Structure 1
Amino acid sequence: MTGPRVAVAGVHGHGASHVRNVARLAAAGRAELVGVADPRPTEGVRAFDSLEALLAATDVDVVIISTPIQTHVPLAELAMRAGADVLLEKPPTASLAEFEALSAVVAETGRACQVGFQAQASEATLKLADLVAAGQLGEIRGISAVGKWVRTAKYFQRARWAGKRRLDGVDVVDGAVTNPLAHATAAALLLDRSTGVDDVRSVETELYRANPIESDDTSTVRIVTARGTTILIAVTLCAEEHLEPAVIVHGTEGDAVLEYASDRIGETKYGRADLLENLLAHRADPAVPLYVPLAATGGFTRVVEAVRVAEPPREIPDELIRWEGEGPERRPIVLDVEGWIDRASDELALFSELGAPWTKPSQRES
């Protein structure tokens, strides 16, 4: 028994982990890796330079798409119209219009589209969502998500689309909020059970950058959900050191901290389901629900849309940045950004409301 026939589009970078995961399932007789699609040469597996060529050459049951953001929608549509189900990396789309278009393809074709928000399949995330819904933290004052990450110049040089808002006239929206730390926003929305496109009432954005890029690398975003919950996102890729991201639920009976990358609530570590295994189980029995169907990323996509239409990120003044490293390892550190992120999280406030120094007009702007 070989199991469903699986192909992977985009196998360099994060896509390599998908190839390894399919190989793991193949070794257990639960799937078959029938090919990969990538314009760059790939060894050790049947390879095609495009997904179109792969689908024309072989039958495929599931396509995993781990390609540049701006290619997600056309490739997912191509796969679904060819009769395949899809595991689509996050962010699923670069705009609300693209989300609506892809949702229409899902409805028309009847294919499954699972989105790669792994933290949504974490027992820790789902456990905390249940605790919140059951009122065990009391009345919820708000939810905050914090990310203090380190990214060097090499990260933004890895591909033409990295760090871009648009490329060749097409939306990319590759910023700290929408891509590397997207899981923080998605998890916060799940904890409030506000994952749908109509579950978000408003989004305020404050986008800044220390790197010489188009997109944001240091930002606060405030979401108000339809149920009235305030969700405050405070993130940077310019921290002193790379720390575990967290989502904090602020309740009248206490706070709960979810470290979604390691599946922890406080000191307790939980397990995590595999999104591809879940998709295969859903294919075998549609009564098995997907952990992250496309529809459950609508709330997140409203945040992507707000970032997309926002003014370009403001440049953080040189005097507020310390640079370290050389060449590909060069990186900016925004001075005391960790303290401002902690304050934003605690007070559910935007950087400008707290008076963070980079939010004040510089001499060049005044």
Structure 2
Amino acid sequence: MNKVYFAVVGIRNFAAEHIKFIKQLENEGEIKLAGIVVEDRRKNFDLEKKFKKEGVEIFYSYDDLLKNARDFVDVITLPTAIHTHSEMAIKAMKYGYNVLLEKPPAATVQEVDKIIEAEKETGKFCSIGFHMIHSRSIRKLKEIILQGKLGQIKEISCKAIWPRYRSYYTRNEWAGKSIYNGHIILDGPINNALAHYLNNMLYLIGPSMNESIDLETVRAELYRAHTYIETEDTSCIEAKAINGTKIHFYVTHASNKKLDPYMVIEGTKGKAYWDFSEKTTILLNNGEKIEFDNEGIDPHLEVFRIVAKKHLGVIDELYSTPKNSRPFVVAVNGAYDSAEKIVPIPKNFIKEYEEENEYKTVLNNIDEIIDEAFEKKVLFSDIGITWARATKEIKVKEYKSFNPFLKKDA
């Protein structure tokens, strides 16, 4: 059996997850960990020693890997900072490697377009690590939508509440930043921790199995409750796709309660309900009920399996690509353009305190606010929330560039 040899840039944090997934899959015979980039040798001495004993080649810089691994590395994985994604992916493809790039593909649509162009120029591929559109439940749900069982999709909505504390925002130098070292990064829930669930919706209503839907308009509100970060931590988005479907998204990192992502799809012939466990229920108007889950398949592992199959020529198309991730980036960039600024929540609506060795930030009643907005399919300002600020709808159909320093017309 042919093997696909992977190299991971990094050894800690999410790079450690990439390494773990690859090692889990080695027993299947198709995938092998061939290299790791370790830049901080003192900090990672024990890990470096461990992997060397396992026969993994260690590189001490990204350039070292690019220049010296072409004979035995097929795919480079980039679980790196958001602002590095575009440049590092393009550089790898120009050196002749295929790439697995962590989500989001980039912070701006113009960076994504550069990745797409580099794929064309080099003939190499760049898979994006949106693992949820590799999941069996999401792909089966899309098949059912494409078969027309739900009829025309009128609306698709998702809400999620994932508390994040100070430790989350001190995990690295760019966490919670909008701009870092002169680079746009947008490290908020819509572009990082909960990005998969916005991307899921755009993917599910795309016109074919591996396409996402382009957007016509976006209206969004972006808020900040954590007093020590730059980016948004509480957001709502209302978008309209080019096929007329309305998309609604509600998220926060400023709650004391956790609510895992929950999605509702409304069609002319029925409704579908999907939750974070991947339990999916479809209720059709004719009385038919369809239920399924992920069949026990971990979507994180599927990301690597699909990359390997594409490299080996077993499949023609990747599941997640720069091209079908582009509508997601347009949605995020459009959200920032629509909101125009991240609105700080007045301190009298926030509680910040230490508890269980964590410094927590809680926005009063945000759980109930999200529930109400989700049920009514409106933004926070539409239901009269005191601290909410109304925003304008912007057109994004021909969206080419995002620059938060320029004011754009609708």
Determine the structure 2 residue equivalent to 1:334: 363
SS of 1:130's equivalent? Answer: helix
Once the two structures are superposed, residues 49-90 of structure 1 have per-residue CA deviations (whole angstroms, 9 ceiling, x without a partner) of 322112223222001110000011111112111111111100
One-letter amino acid matched to 2:261 = P
Q: Paired residue for 2:106?
A: 93
Q: 1:34 to 1:360 in 2, by over 3 A?
A: closer
Q: Give the match for residue 305 of structure 1.
A: 333
Match of 1:218 in 2: 234
Give, in angstroms, the shift of residue 22 of structure 1: 1.4
Name the structure 2 match of 1:166.
179
Q: How far apart, CA to CA, are the structure 2 residues paired with 1:246 and 1:31?
A: 33
1:9 maps to 9
Higher deviation after alignment, 133-142 or 104-113? 133-142
**Quick one: distance in 1 between partners of 2:67 and 2:40?**
19
Q: Which residue of 1 aligns with 2:322?
A: 294
**Contact 1:199–1:226 (Cα < 8 Å) also in 2:** yes
SS at match of 2:150: coil
Q: Secondary structure at the match of 1:325?
A: strand
Decide which of 195, 205, 224 is 1:209's aligned counterpart. Answer: 224
Residues 306, 197 of structure 1: alpha-carbon distance in 2 compared, 3 angstrom cutoff: farther
Q: Percent of aligned pairs with the same residue?
A: 31
Unpaired runs of 5+ residues, structure 2, are: 52-56, 282-290, 391-410
1:151-187 Cα shifts (integer Å, max 9, x gaps): 1101001111111111111111111111110011000
Task: Give the aligned partner of residue 58 of structure 2.
Answer: 47
1:364 aligns to what? none
Matches within 5 A, 1:14-53: 14-41=14-41, 42=44, 43=47, 44-45=50-51, 46-53=57-64
Q: Is the 8 A contact 1:198 1:298 kept in 2?
A: no
For the 8 Å contact 1:152–1:331, the answer to whether it is kept is: yes
Q: CA deviation at 1:223?
A: 1.2
User: What is the CA–CA distance in structure 2 between the aligned matches of 1:325 and 1:268, rounded to whole Å?
Assistant: 41
Indicate whether 1:269 and 2:293 are aligned: yes
Q: Cα RMSD over matched residues?
A: 2.2
Give the letter aligned to residue 313 of structure 1: I
Q: What is the TM-score with the length of structure 1 in the denominator?
A: 0.91
1:177 aligned partner: 190
What is the CA distance between 1:326 and its match in structure 2?
4.8
Contact 1:55 1:82 in 2 (8 A): yes
Deviation track 1:188-226 (CA, whole Å, cap 9, x = no partner) reads 111211686871111112000111211110000111110
The amino acid that maps onto 1:161 is: W
Q: Which residue of 2 aligns with 1:103?
A: 116
Aligned-residue offset at 1:252: 4.7
Equivalent residue number for residue 116 of structure 1? 129
What is the letter of the counterpart of residue 245 of structure 2? Answer: T
* Deviation (angstroms), 1:28: 3.8
Displacement after TM superposition at 1:129 (Å) = 2.0
Matches within 5 A, 1:249-268: 249-259=265-275, 261-266=276-281, 268=292
Q: Could you list the runs of 5+ residues in structure 1 that have no partner in the other structure?
A: 362-366
Task: Judge conservation of contact 1:232–1:344 (CA < 8 Å) in 2.
Answer: no
Structure 1 counterpart SS, 2:260: coil
Instruction: Report if the CA contact (8 A) 2:206-2:213 is conserved.
Output: no
**Bigger CA drift: 131-140 or 72-81?**
131-140
Distance 2:336 2:159 in 1: 21
Alpha-carbon spacing, 1:218–1:113, altered in 2? closer, same or farther (3 Å): same
Q: Report the secondary structure of 1:64's partner residue.
A: strand
Pairs within 5 Å for 1:228-239:
228-239=244-255
Shift of 1:358: 2.1
Amino acid corresponding to residue 88 of structure 1 in structure 2? L
User: What secondary structure is seen at the aligned counterpart in 2 of 1:63?
Assistant: strand
Matched, 1:128 2:141: yes
Report the TM-score when normalising by structure 2.
Answer: 0.82
Structure 1, 147-156 or 346-355: larger mean CA deviation: 346-355
Instruction: Give the letter for the 1:247 counterpart.
Output: M
CA contact (8 A) 1:187 1:247 kept: no
Answer whether contact 1:165 1:308 (CA < 8 A) is retained. no
